Amino acid sequence: MSDTKRKKWSHLTWEERRMIQAGLRERLTFSEIAMRIGCSPDTISKEIRKHRYHKYSPPAPSRVNYCKFRDSCRKRDVCSKPKGHKCRIPCRKCISCNRRCPYFVKYPCQKTLHAPYVCNGCSKSTCQFDKYVYSADHANREYLKGLCASRSGIDMTEEELIDLDELVSPLVRKGQPIAHILAAHGDEIPVCERTLYSYISKGYLSIKNIDMRRTVRYRKRRHDDVAKVSSAKKAGHRYPSFLKQMERDPDQRVVEMDTVEGRKGGKVFMTLRWRENSLMLVFLLASKEMKNTSEVIDQLEKKLGTEDFERLFPLILTDNGSEFADPQLFEYSADGSRRTSIYYCAPKHSEQKGGLEKDHEYIRYVLPKGSSFDELTQEQAQLLADNINSTARPGLGGLRPIDLAMRYFGKDTVERLGLTVIDHDDVNLTPSLLK
């Protein structure tokens, strides 16, 4: 059982979901997993069935028919052979059924129809059935999304909202303050003053904030994105651990990661740079938040494929900014498999990833400090990266990062990263590039 006693009726945490995922991989029963966490086996069963996700496997040539209707199917000659060559074999017995039949529906794996309801821990690597997988990261994201959705909207029927609008809106248009309206019609209005202001601000009523004298003068409160991540999660990810890893494998590929701010509170650049060739990727983000930076890593894995992503990003070194605070979001794929290792520089020691800090100067040639990124697009960010990567470097023996990347990564991989070669004479590193 878990060392800390679990509070009754409490929701499962990310750590407990990781324990469920590990238990499934070890082929433990629901009761054994529940004993580890300190909850009911029924809780484990409901959690897995609710948050498992479908992993589609495309039909492949096989001598086994995986169609859902294989026992009842009576179709013949589905592949439409030339006249005079009508096929005598029932389609359900043909090895081409899985690929050619337009009525083919894949039969689900029998293991997913009963406990444990997922394919975690299954040793059959050649299975052609569609799979269901449980991932702690995926489950926790779904849980948090559902938690937000359950608290959105308003606790009022459509008819009640119409009645409220017909009562309040005409009075506000007459210039009456909300406090005055509540004092005169408090018995007819089923919400408090704060909630009424909220309904108006969110557009639930026909009046807007502009219709109220004082509301439009209030400055919107600023909510900084401070990641609520325990520092214990970074254990084993500090700079000394990075140095030990490099001692074990000095030739391991290292990618440095950081962000570049425009005007405070606006859009930012996320940058990734390979030490071996100084190639830099630039992504425009809506804000300096962890959900945006981790989404870039997810998109890169999807674009490159897991195998190439692991080849290009085996080890990432970044700083201690809140936008990179949770190593789990960056290290693990949606299915729970490890895709990279992330390490953090020592606080106030940006020189530990000095190559990236120095290459940020190229960005500042085009966008000096104080420039706003809010009007830029990702296409412009990509154009900026192409010009930087096509600039010859003394430290590379006069070669360009894009040329070395073609040599190290391959032309196809560079194109999938969205990079384009700029001719030597066309390279532009002045503010006019993005105008």
pLDDT given at position 393:
92
Phi, psi for residue 78 in degrees, rounded to 5: -65, -30
Residue pair 350/356 in contact by the 8 Å Cβ criterion: no
Give yes or no for residue 57 having a pLDDT over 70. Answer: no
Pick the more confident residue, 346 or 57. Answer: 346
Q: Region 244-270: what's the mean pLDDT?
A: 93
Per CATH, the homologous superfamily of domain 231-434 is Ribonuclease H-like superfamily/Ribonuclease H (3.30.420.10)
Give yes or no for residue 80 having a pLDDT over 70. Answer: no
pLDDT given at position 200:
87
Give yes or no for residue 389 having a pLDDT over 80. Answer: yes
CA gyration radius, the chain: 29
Q: Region 338-344: what's the mean pLDDT?
A: 94
Give yes or no for residue 227 having a pLDDT over 50. Answer: no
Least confident of 52-61, 129-138, 292-301: 52-61
Q: Region 283-304: what's the mean pLDDT?
A: 93
Assign 89 a pLDDT band (cuts: 50, 70, 90): confident
**Residue 274, helix vs strand vs coil:** strand
Least confident of 234-238, 331-335, 408-412: 331-335
The model's pTM is 0.53
Spatial distance between the Cα atoms of 24 and 111, rounded to a whole number of angstroms: 13
Helical H segments across 115-237, by residue range: 136-150, 158-173, 178-185, 193-201
pLDDT given at position 404:
95
In angstroms, what CA-CA distances link 255 with 115, 275, 311, 344, 355? 42, 6, 11, 12, 10
3-class DSSP string for 276-344: CCCCEEEEEECCCCHHHHHHHHHHHHHHHCHHHHHHHCCEEEECCCHHHCCHHHHHECCCCCECCEEEE
pLDDT given at position 125:
64
Phi, psi for residue 106 in degrees, rounded to 5: -70, 135
pLDDT given at position 216:
58
Least confident of 70-79, 313-322, 375-384: 70-79
Q: Region 334-350: what's the mean pLDDT?
A: 90
Q: Residue 159, class by beta-carbon neighbours within 10 Å (0-12 exposed, 13-18 middle, 19+ buried)?
A: exposed
Torsion angle, alpha carbons of 326, 327, 329, 334, to 10: -150
The model's pLDDT over 141-192, given as tens digits with 9 standing for 90+, comes to 888 888 776 666 777 888 888 899 999 999 988 888 888 999 899 888 998 9
Which DSSP letter does residue 374 get?
T
Average pLDDT over the chain, rounded to whole?
Answer: 85
Tokens of 379: 């296409």
Give yes or no for residue 72 having a pLDDT over 50. Answer: yes
pLDDT given at position 61:
53
Give yes or no for residue 245 having a pLDDT over 70. Answer: yes
Spatial distance between the Cα atoms of 38 and 6, rounded to a whole number of angstroms: 6
Q: Region 134-144: what's the mean pLDDT?
A: 89
